[in-house]
Amino acid sequence: MLDWYKRGTRVERMTFWGCFAGWGLDALDVQMFTLAIPAIVAAFGIDHTQAGAISAVTLVSSALGGWLAGALSDRLGRVRTLQITILWFSAFTFICAFAQTFPQLLAFKALQGFGFGGEWAAGAVLMAETISPENRGKAMGAVQSAWAVGWGAAVLLYAVAFSWLPMATAWRVMFGVGLLPAILVLYVRRNLREPARFSTPEKQTQTPILLQVAEVFRPQVLKTTLIGMLLGTGAHGGYYAIMTWLPTFLSKERHLSVLNTGAYLAVVIIAFWCGCMASAYLLDRIGRRRNIALFALCCIVTVLSYVMLPLSNLQMLVLGFPLGFFSAGIPASLGALFNELYPAQMRGTGVGFCYNFGRIASAGFPVLVGYMSHSMSLGAAIGIDAGVAYGIAMVSVLLLPETRGKRLRPTTAEKSAIPTNGADLALKSARSQR
């Protein structure tokens, strides 16, 4: 599994760790909110629907940020865009700690989302264009496992903060720690380089951003974009329906304490990491389509069992492992698949659009869970929403072509720069000696 890392170049390894750290710190900042929902509800006197609205607004803004960052990465470069987005989401996570009203927190979380969505879009394309085709699935799946690392760090921070500090202070301290990812920019500036495939043709740099995003609806890629939008919706909808409300489900319906909630989440998080690594292996073994469809089917069965069956606490602890394991497989696959569906000159735009459209469309799922919980149990609401979402993901991925092992196409500018015969090579050599 790790042979690709040993055989990789220094640039590949440095890029892997830069993106791994970025994605892990993204998870730290984002998962802090899901853990702090009960404290935020108490602090501002809001209900579950309003708490779900914060998550929804963050998802929508992260999608818009992903669209913008994807287009900017095609224009400014992958590495530069990555630096901008890391600084952005770090700063606004920190500012969330000082929110005094519900509308203020809503606005700060929305601004945080712009950077969060943009970081993934820039980092995913950077990874895809740096790693060799035969190892792309393994490397990008392994990068996705950083989410489990950041999530685990958030749970540890949650356990410490809420065990030692008053609830009204603890959630603010958690958001204050969110400034730490800004340090990662120093590593990115020193060690990461633009892929050789990246170029900024003069015509492209003059294209307005909105028109550049609209390129994903060109006839040549329209079908891919429409199906990719559905896949992103199902993948994100299922994940956020579960993970936004899981801590609240454990504490309010299962009546677990802070430390016990952390123990149950620890099982899910460790399983999530294992699921990412398994998906990374299967991506290059059985292909992108089969892998996503398999994990989506398993997600439906597992989440319905977890939240709807009359399980004991011990049984829930055991079932938490497959819940986390299977929920990891789809997000670990999307980066490789979406990058392989688009040509280089619009790759960042296409990847950012499909992945982040799913965030916009899925923003309704956490809100719907909160709304449905007024007329049914929270567990039932989570199960119904997640089951529908994963069903959408399973059907849509089967409509896409298999892209395993595909070489990413160079831009038009790069094609024209490649000598086509011996005479061209000789001419190029002669010119370089002058």
Amino acid at 167: M
Task: Please give the Cα distance from 241 to 386 (Å, whole number).
Answer: 6
Cα 63 versus chain centre, distance? 10
pLDDT value for 297? 94
Cα dihedral across residues 213, 53, 120, 29: positive or negative: positive
Range with the largest mean pLDDT of 76-85, 203-212, 225-234, 355-364: 225-234
Average pLDDT over residues 245-255: 75
Q: Judge whether residue 396 has pLDDT over 90.
A: yes
Task: Please give the structure tokens belonging to residue 209.
Answer: 């951003």
Mean pLDDT calculated for residue range 17-36? 82
Q: What is the pLDDT of residues 43-72, one digit of tens each?
A: 888 887 788 788 778 878 887 888 788 778
Question: Which pLDDT does position 196 carry in this prediction?
Answer: 63
What per-residue confidence (pLDDT) applies to 341?
A: 86
The answer to whether residues 108 and 138 touch, using CB atoms and an 8 Å cutoff, is: no
**The two three-digit tokens of residue 341, written as one number:** 């569906």
Q: Which residue has the higher pLDDT, 22 or 325?
A: 325
Given a contact cutoff of 8 angstroms between Cβ atoms, the answer to whether 150 and 27 are in contact is yes
Q: Please state, in angstroms and rounded to a whole number, the distance separating the CA atoms of residues 108 and 222.
A: 34
Task: Give yes or no for residue 292 having a pLDDT over 70.
Answer: yes
pLDDT on residue 294: 94
Measured between alpha carbons, how far is 433 from 280 in angstroms, rounded to an integer?
45
Q: How far apart, in whole angstroms, are the C-alpha atoms of residue 273 and residue 140?
A: 13
Element (H, E) at 63: helix 48-75
State what percent of residues in the chain have pLDDT above 70.
87
Q: Return the residue matching tokens 């264009």.
A: 129
Interval 398-420 mean pLDDT: 61
Which stretches of 131-145 are DSSP H helices?
Answer: 136-144
User: What pLDDT, in 10s, does the model give residues 134-145?
Assistant: 778 888 888 888
Per-residue pLDDT, 199 = 47
Q: In the structure, what pLDDT confidence band is assigned to residue 420 with cuts at 50, 70 and 90?
A: very low
User: Tell me: the pLDDT tens digits for 355-394?
Assistant: 878 877 877 888 888 888 888 888 888 889 999 999 999 9
Residue 433 has a pLDDT of 36
Choose between 80 and 6: higher pLDDT: 80
Q: What is the pLDDT of residues 84-108, one digit of tens each?
A: 888 888 889 899 999 999 999 999 9
Query: In terms of pLDDT, which residue wins out, 337 or 119?
Result: 337
Mean pLDDT of the chain: 80
Question: When comparing pLDDT for 184 and 410, which is higher?
Answer: 184
Comparing 254 with 93, the larger pLDDT belongs to 93
Q: How confident is the model at residue 227 (pLDDT cuts 50, 70, 90)?
A: very high
CA-to-CA distance for 246 and 307, rounded, in angstroms? 10
Domains belonging to the chain, first-starting first, are 7-187+209-405 (1.20.1250.20)
Q: pLDDT value at position 1?
A: 53
Asked whether the beta carbons of 239 and 331 are under 8 A apart, the reply is yes
Other residues' Cβ atoms within 10 Å of the Cβ of residue 287: 18
**Residue 210 pLDDT grade (very low, low, confident, very high; cuts 50, 70, 90):** low
For the cut 90, the answer to whether the pLDDT of residue 295 exceeds it is: yes
The per-residue pLDDT for 267 is 82
398 pLDDT tier (thresholds 50, 70, 90)? very high
Specify the pLDDT at position 403.
Answer: 81
pLDDT for the residue 430: 40
